C-alpha cells in the first residue's frame, strides 16, 4: 500500500488499518518465534505500513491545529 492510498483513507479507516496491521505484526512475530515464517521481510513491510499510517494521522492532526 502506497502513501497516496493511505492519504485517501478517512480517519476511521486509518484507525482500522492501524489495528489490523498491528495484529498482523504480532502474528508475524509469533510465526517467526515458532519458525513458521518463511519470508522475514514481511515484518519490516508491516512496520513500514504502521509508520505510514501514523505519519498520515500526525499530518492530519497538525493540519487541524
- Chain position carrying cell 512496520: 47
The percentage of the chain sitting over the pLDDT mark of 70, rounded to a whole number, equals: 100
* CATH number, domain with residue 9: 1.10.287.310
Q: Please name which of 62, 57, 50 lies closest in space to residue 23, comparing C-alpha atoms.
A: 50
19-50 tens-digit pLDDT: 999 999 999 999 999 999 999 999 999 999 99
Q: Where would I find the H helices in the chain?
A: 3-7, 11-33, 41-64
Residue range of the domain that includes 36: 3-64
d(CA 62, CA 1): 23
Q: Judge contact between 22 and 50, C-beta under 8 A.
A: yes
pTM, 2 dp: 0.91
Work out the number of other CB atoms within 10 angstroms of the CB of residue 21. 20
Domain count, the chain: 1
Amino acid at each position: 500500500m502506497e502513501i497516496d492510498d493511505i492519504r485517501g483513507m478517512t480517519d476511521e479507516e486509518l484507525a482500522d488499518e492501524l489495528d489490523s496491521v498491528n495484529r498482523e505484526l504480532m502474528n508475524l512475530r509469533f510465526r517467526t518465534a515458532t519458525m513458521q515464517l518463511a519470508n522475514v521481510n514481511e515484518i519490516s513491510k508491516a512496520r513500514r505500513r504502521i509508520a505510514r499510517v501514523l505519519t498520515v494521522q500526525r499530518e492530519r492532526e497538525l493540519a487541524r491545529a
